[in-house]
Structures are given as C-alpha cells and as structure tokens.
Chain A
Amino acid sequence: MKGIKFAAAAAVILASPSLAFAEPQAEVLHWWTSGGEAKSVAVLQKEFTDNGGTWTDMPVAGGGGDAAMTALRARVLSGNAPTAVQLKGPAIQEWYEEGALADISAVAEAEGWADVLPASIAEHMQCEDSWCAAPVNVHRVDWIWANADVLKAHDISMPSTWQEFNAAAEKLQAAGIVPLAHGGQAWQDATVFEAVALGILGADGFRKAFVELDEDTLTSDAMVAVFDQMRTLRGYVDRNFSGRDWNLATAMVMNGEAAFQVMGDWAKGEFLAAGKTPGVDFLCASTPGDGFLYNVDSFAMFDVDGEDRQAGQALLARLIVGKNFQKVFNLNKGSIPARTDVSLDEFDSCAHLSADDMATSSQNGSLLPSYAHGMALRGAQAGAITDVVTAHFNSDMSSADAVEMLATAVANSL
C-alpha cells in the first residue's frame, strides 16, 4: 500500500512540469565577455527574466569566438545543444546544413520581421524557407575615422576618393604625422582591404568577387588596382604596426599621433569611452566609394527538446528583435539596430549616418556583407583570401602576383 502511494506521488511530481504552463528556459552561448559587451548581454538577460524566463548564461571567452565555437561543436556532437548561440553570417547556414538548427518562423511571422529588417540582412537569418536566427545589431565595417584637430591643422577634409586620401596622406607624412593608424593583424589587413575593394570595384564588383567568388572579377585589372592601393597604404603606416591591436591604433588617432584609421564602428566605442565627441574631437565618414559593408551579430536557435526550452527560444527571439532591446543594446555597443523602425533620437551623429546609409544602400542594392568579418563567405574561403591579402600587405609581392595567388587560393579552398 505504502509503495503504491509513493509511486503515485512520484508520478504526480514527474508529470507536473508538463501539466503547468512551461516556464521558458534558455541556455545562451556567447563570447560577449568584455566590459561594454557584457553590459549589453546583461540587458537581454534582465528582459528575459522579467518576462518569466530562466536564463542560463554560458559565456566562453577567447580567440574572437574560436573557443566558443569549439565548445559549441562539443555540445552539438554530444547531442546537448545550447538553446541559442551567438553566430553570424554563413556560419548559420553551415550549422543548418549539419541539421542542428530550429525553426522560429512562428515568432518571426507574428512579429513581422520581414517588414522591419533590411532584405539582405533578413536573408542571413533564414535557412531555406524558415527563420532560424535573430539579428541583434548592424556594425558598419567601411568606416574611416579621423582626428578632427589634425585634419584642421593641415587643412584637410574627409576624403571621398582614394586619390584624395593618398594626397592627404602625402601631406600628413611630410608634416611628420602617421597618415594611417593600423595594426598588422590578418583581420585588420582584411578590413582595410575590403574597404578599398568596395571603393575601387564598386558594389557590384564587390558582390561578384567576395560573395559569388567570380573568377573573372577576382583576376580583373580592377583587383590589381585594389592591391596597388593596398601597397600605397602600406607606405602610410608607421614602422611598428606589426601585431598591434586595433584599439591601440584607435588611440593613435585619438591623441593626434596618426590622422586616419579604417575600422568598423566598434572603434567609436573607444573614442566615446575616452570622452571624445563625434564631429568635434573625431570625425566619422564612410570609406571612399558607395556602399555599406555590414557585420551583423545574431543568435541562432538550435534544435532543442522540451517545451520549456522551446518556449524560452521563442521568448528570446521575440525580445532580441524587440524595439527596446535593439535600442538599449546598440547604444551600449556602438552599432545600430538591425530593425529599421527604431527611433534613433538617443544615438549619436555617426550612428545616424550609418542608419541613413543603410536605408539608401538597401534601396539601391549596395548593402553588402563584410567578407573580413565572416559575413560573406564561409571560414575556409574567407581565410584563403585573407592569407593572400596579409601576405601581400606584409611583403613586397607585386599586385599581379597577388591577384594570381588570390584566384588559386580561392579555387583551392572550395
């Protein structure tokens, strides 16, 4: 008798979670662990718990996400995927092809994501016909930052072509100022390279070369010109640039040691943290040429069991694309909201410029994924291109050789 009672009680206890409304659960794998980024994630975490969810944080620091990806691989292989993972660009599609992602179309359609996200960014969030990821922000990569006082002292305005930039750089160099602050790390070389490529190849050429990997474009004369400009830029960086971190290069612009830096808008965070004002102490402009290279952080939703975890996934997706989070998060991070209907009143002038350009370029088809930041190509192809770019920039290789190497490297990486 006693035994039966116990069994009945146990059955009730075991069954109760599914009887009650499933409480949203989310285990979130991300690598936003540094000061400003951690603060940004905390915003999401708070909103999630305010909406009755239980958030399990799984931050994995190190290696620009490499460590987190290794952890993710282990989790997926052992059949225990996290609920949501910070992933971006083609990596989302790669994980979808491994059959690891969930379908969150229900949330996306209820919230009308298709109407508020720029089409080319929405495309990254879709796996075939369903939605599988939620965008957090839009970083613009093709920015050029400048020290306002240095430019004024030498009577230079923000360049609108690379020729103008070269002329300004010559003038600055003669005056003993480092024209271009740069850090010799492969990804920074690639960042400058893609900004130059966008300016010289144009939006269509950029898409053909770095999205479609069209061989004719990769070996075209225009590509030779891109490498020529890279060689010219190599003359404008200081001797100690090898291995320098990007924020140290930003500091050089800040204290007037250097005039310009080509870097994504995370550099703005450095200026702001140092108490500088955009438009007064430092200037921001898009790099010469039309177009907009975006680097969009997003959370991919992994296939998980259990109603509570699926409810957590839906809630998380709804909150991430929600107006409030998009505003608060991006104010912290220096980027702009991915959805286009968020009020930008509290944002600075650089963010306004970024949002305006995003709208324009989305209209005319020049809103393009950044190759250097893993938005345009898969790891192996992007890596192969970066190898060539950095080998060329850091040696005396000729532009013609570099273009030839580029075509072989891309073919070899497929």
Chain B
Amino acid sequence: MADWLERNVPRILLAPSFLIVLIFVYGFIAWTAWVSMTRSRLLPKYEIEGFIQYERLFAAPRWDTAMNNLFIFGALFIVVSMMLGLLLAILLDQKIRIEGALRTIYLYPMALSMIVTGTAWQWVMNPGLGIEAVVRGWGFENFAFDWVIDPDMAIFAIVIAAVWQASGFVMALFLAGLRSVDDEIIKAAKVDGIPTWRIYSAIVIPSMAPVFLSAFIVLAHLAIKSFDLVIALTGGGPGYATDLPATYMYAMAFSRGDIGQAASSAMVMMAVVFAIVVPYLYSELRVKRG
C-alpha cells in the first residue's frame, strides 16, 4: 500500500491541474479553431463553412494595420528594451555606490500595471498637456512632439511607453547574468591589459547568451499579448492606426458580435506565437539531448 502510494501520489496530485490545463487551454484552443471555421456571429454556431473567416480577415485593411503594428512594435520594443537594459546593466555593474537604490528605481516601472503606464504616458505625450506644451511654454514656439495624434507615428509613441516599462526588468535580468560571469576570467583579462569595452564585447556578453534568449522570450510574449497599453494610451487611435491583433480580436468578439472573425484572428495570433516559441523549444530540447 505504502509502496503504491509512493509511486502514485505525484500522479494523483498532478492529475487535477493536468486536466484543467488540458480542458481550459488545449480544449479551448480546439474550440476556437472550430469556431473560426464557421459563420458564427452573435452566438457560436458549429456548422463548418471552410476558410471564409480567414478570407475575410486577410481582406480587411484593419487587420493588415494590426499585423504591421505588431511587427513594428514587437521588433522595436524587443530590440530597444534589450539594448537599453544591457547598457543600464553594464553601467550599474561598475561597482558604483548607490547601486541598490538605482536598481530599484529602474526596476520600479515593472511594478506598475500597463493601464497606469498607458494613462500616464497619454498625458505626458498629449500635445496640449504634456511635453510639447511644457517646452512651448519655455519659449520654443515651434517645438512639436505630437506622435500620439499622428496616425503614422502613434505606434512609436506606444513603443516609448512600453520600453520605459520593460527596460528596467531587462536590466535586472542582464545584471544577474553579468554577475554570474566568472570573476577570475575578468581579473585575468584585466591583468593582461585588455580594455574594458573589449572585456565586455569579447568575454562577458558572449557568455550571457542564455540570458539574451530568456529576455527575448519574455519580451516577445509581452509584445504579442499587448492590449491594455494600447487601450489606455491611444484606444487604438487615431482612427485604428495603433490597433494590434489583440485589440482587433476584442473589437470583433465583444463590440461587433462577430465571433467567427474574432476566432480566426485569435488562431493567427497563436500561429505567430508558435513561430517564435517552437524554434526556442526545439533548440532547448536539442541542447539537453546533446
């Protein structure tokens, strides 16, 4: 009996959560896939109609805008956050005096919810209230910073707010990575008279490859699921210039009673996530096997 328990208790304990994940994650993915093949409007219907919703989706200019925005936002957000995070981490790593306080200050934006970040930056970047009004108040009458109201630039305004929020967190990741590099190697390099920038570019950063990968994965999924930041900062506007796939899906499912269309956009979003995560998983598993 004790023997049997010892063997099966882990399984029994894990079974409920396994079942919950199976139903509420994979089950509902399958359900969404099914609904995306139907003409569901207000309520889900289950007669398969083929790829009609995907045809509608790819014919919609608003979806094009949303996907373009995702790539612009995702690429800039990931690259700028990583570069800024790495720079901050290296600067903090110079054994400076109030490192603890500075680290907390930089990490603090991560403690805010995206809604707060979005609302605050909406005020900061509003031409009538924020930076532009202040600088004009100083006498620079021609100063313009109106990205939030310019449909071509608004997506970059969102990147600024997102980078502000996430780069502190990336900095913390990199700082941990920097600290884990063997001190002896760095000391040896210094003894050999190698300049500091060379130590970082040739020794420290290459040995932090796994940290880069983790940071990338965290930032990529933050970018793809971004929703609240856009809602708070621009509401998807001007027009629908800052729509992202997530806001598109929300509009279709909850405002327009077009569940089939929302389901098809959700499936495409999932495909994008898979395109990023599957290579990652593949490389991880391969490393372990080797």
Interface residues of chain A, those whose CB is within 8 Å of chain B, are 63, 66-67, 69-70, 73, 76-77, 91, 94-95, 98, 184-186, 189, 239-243, 378-380, 382-383, 387, 390-395, 405, 408-409, 412-413
Contacts and interface: CB of A to CB of B under 8 A. Distances in A.
B235 to A, nearest CB: 5
Interface in B220-267: 234-241, 251, 254-258, 261
A239 B257 contact: no
B59 A412 contact: yes
Given A240-B126, A242-B237, A380 B255 contact: no
B158 interface: no
A69 B254 contact: yes
B60 A242 contact: no
A375 to B, nearest CB: 15
B27 interface: no
Closest 8 A-B residue pairs measured CB to CB? A394-B239, A394-B238, A240-B128, A379-B256, A242-B149, A379-B257, A390-B239, A383-B256
B237 A409 contact: no
Interface residues of B, number: 32
B43 A66 contact: no
B61 interface: yes
12 contacts: A73-B42, A73-B43, A94-B42, A98-B43, A184-B238, A186-B237, A186-B240, A240-B129, A387-B60, A390-B239, A391-B241, A394-B238
Nearest to B45: A98
Greatest chain A CB density within 10 A among B148, B239, B261 is at: B239
B56 interface: yes
Contacts of A189: 239
A95 B240 CA distance: 29
Contacts of A390: 237, 239-240
B254 A239 contact: no
Contact of B240 (A67, A241, A242, A391): A391
A338 B159 CA distance: 48
B255 A63 contact: yes
Best-buried of B62, B149, B234, B256 by chain A (most CB within 10 Å): B256
Contacts of B240: 186, 387, 390-391
B103 interface: no
A382 B252 CA distance: 12
Contacts of A186: 236-237, 239-240
Given A67-B254, A76-B43, A77-B43, 15 more contacts: A66-B255, A69-B257, A94-B41, A184-B149, A185-B237, A186-B236, A186-B240, A239-B146, A243-B122, A379-B256, A383-B251, A387-B60, A387-B61, A392-B239, A405-B61
Given A66-B254, A76-B43, A94-B41, A409 B60 contact: yes
Contacts of B60: 387, 409, 412
Main secondary structure of the interface of B (DSSP, over half): loop
A63 B251 CA distance: 11
Given A98-B43, A394-B239, A63 B254 contact: yes
B127 A239 contact: yes
Contacts of B122: 243
A70 B241 contact: no
Contacts of B50: none
A380 B258 contact: yes
Contacts of A408: 59
B148 A242 contact: yes
A396 to B, nearest CB: 9
B256 A239 contact: no
Contacts of B148: 242-243
Interface string B53-71: 0001001111000000000
A392 B237 CA distance: 12
A75 B279 CA distance: 42
Nearest to A70: B254
Nearest to B236: A186
A379 B254 CA distance: 10
Contacts of B236: 186
B138 to A, nearest CB: 19
A63, A66, A393: residue with the most chain B Cβ atoms closer than 10 Å: A66
Contacts of B41: 94, 378, 380
Contacts of B254: 63, 66-67, 69-70
Given A66-B254, A405-B61, A409-B61, A242 B43 contact: no
